[in-house]
Amino acid sequence: MLTLYVLAWLVLPSAAQADIYLTKKADGSYVVSNIHRPGRHYTRVIPEPASSGTPVGLSAATAERPYAEMVAAAATANELPAALLHAVIQAESSYNPKARSETGAAGLMQLMPDTARELGVRNVLDPASNIQGGARYLKRLMVMFDNDMALALAAYNAGPGAVLSRGGVIPPFSETQRYVPNVLRTYRALQGLDPDEPL
């Protein structure tokens, strides 16, 4: 039955254009999708064809972005969607590897000095190191907030203490209130999701 489900998916016109993932729901049924959502266990059953011009592991939407292969590697290593890392990088630095904030955050994912040291990132201005460190930190926040993407992003922006001290809600800081929907908007667009689709 499962094989037939996957084969049925393959005959769809767009099915061979992206990685295809399989996950099992609590009721025992299977879901086949080309969208990898955080917090769910997936098995990639069909890789995106290399002949499409897009490297395996990269979606067409993220392959054209700067640092695409570095982001894909960090996403895979930390079990995060590459689209989420791209959305964070876009919001944090607009892909400027030398970006610095007034508070001392630096690099593509704007790592604070203490956070970078804790994550073992020696050179925050090195794109690969910065992306890997930022991905590890974001993964930690996703675990901390039970894979609630909005809360993890709020914690990335304002610090986990600001979220935890308010009982697990997005802090009322104007920057964070703008930051979270902005990142989620970019993420949904890169994933091919509707603007208001639940994550």
Cα(119)–Cα(188) distance, integer angstroms = 28
Residue 170 in contact with residue 176, Cβ under 8 Å?
A: yes
Marked catalytic residue, from 92, 118, 175, 197: 92
Cα(71)–Cα(36) distance, integer angstroms = 15
**DSSP 3-state assignment of 177?**
helix
Token pair in block for residue 167: 């009982």
Question: Which amino acid belongs to residue 193?
Answer: L
In the annotation, is 102 catalytic?
A: no
Cα(199)–Cα(145) distance, integer angstroms = 14
Q: Which residues are catalytic?
A: 92
